[in-house]
Chain A
Amino acid sequence: DAKTTQPPSMDCAEGRAANLPCNHSTISGNEYVYWYRQIHSQGPQYIIHGLKNNETNEMASLIITEDRKSSTLILPHATLRDTAVYYCIVRGEGSEKLVFGKGTKLTVNP
């Protein structure tokens, strides 16, 4: 599975959009981009995933660049409860495992 690079930390004001970047320049054609988040002392929570098209659900939007070498997770109106570590994961179609890196620690400030 391809490796991902994320900034170690980010801050966002409550009510504003949080845009979390992820680089995955070695991604291959059958690998999906997954986003999870982990609030302290809890299990990771699935947010969204995509292959090449942009995706949106009730939690977030995922924007994948045309060359698929990077993506951005957008939380449209961040709340204090969105403070967490966000993980960008690239997973091959036939792979059972999710490989979690260090992620981005997002802090939403009042």
Chain B
Amino acid sequence: SQTIHQWPATLVQPVGSPLSLECTVEGTSNPNLYWYRQAAGRGLQLLFYSVGIGQISSEVPQNLSASRPQDRQFILSSKKLLLSDSGFYLCAWSVVRNQPQHFGDGTRLSIL
């Protein structure tokens, strides 16, 4: 069966520091991969998605970037974190575009 892993579960970072969150999927090949963010009291917002290695689509302009160096690895990065980057970051995968997306347990990021 397929599993998705995200780490770390929680992270506290100072403003201006860099960020790297990693997501890996097991048990499937060439998945579609997604990064979402859930700000406090708000719904999930799609940040990036990828349909293959090196292919990244951005949904909203922001201080973050994404990369997919391997088939089942999706990384969310920032060179300099802002206070507004705080939130709950979720990675998800699907077999193909029109199939359900399955989420990891997320990373809770606090910026001080």
Chain A interface (Cβ < 8 Å from any Cβ of B): 32, 34, 41-46, 49, 93-94, 96-102
Closest Cβ of chain B to A44, distance in Å, is 5
For residue B103, which residue of chain A has the nearest CB? A43
State A96–B94 Cα separation when bound (angstroms): 10
Chain B interface (Cβ < 8 Å from any Cβ of A): 32, 34, 36, 38, 43-44, 46, 49, 57, 59, 90, 92, 97-98, 100-106, 108
State A46–B105 Cα separation when bound (angstroms): 13
Also in contact, A99 and B43, with CB within 8 A (given A43-B90, A44-B90, A44-B103) = yes
Partner of B46, one of A43, A98, A101: A98
| Residues in chain A near residue B90, CB distance under 8 A | 43-44
| Residues in chain A near residue B34, CB distance under 8 A | 96-97
Also in contact, A101 and B105, with CB within 8 A (given A34-B100, A43-B90, A96-B57) = no
CB pair B106 A97 closer than 8 Å: no
Partner of B98, one of A93, A97, A101: A93
For residue A103, which residue of chain B has the nearest CB? B43
Closest Cβ of chain B to A53, distance in Å, is 16
| Residues in chain B near residue A96, CB distance under 8 A | 32, 34, 46, 49, 57, 59, 97
CB pair B104 A98 closer than 8 Å: no
Closest Cβ of chain A to B77, distance in Å, is 20
9 A-B pairs within 8 Å (CB atoms) are namely: A34-B100, A41-B106, A43-B92, A43-B106, A44-B90, A96-B59, A98-B46, A98-B101, A101-B43
Also in contact, A42 and B97, with CB within 8 A (given A96-B49, A98-B46, A101-B43) = no
CB pair B105 A97 closer than 8 Å: no
CB pair A97 B100 closer than 8 Å: no
Also in contact, A97 and B46, with CB within 8 A (given A43-B90, A44-B90) = yes
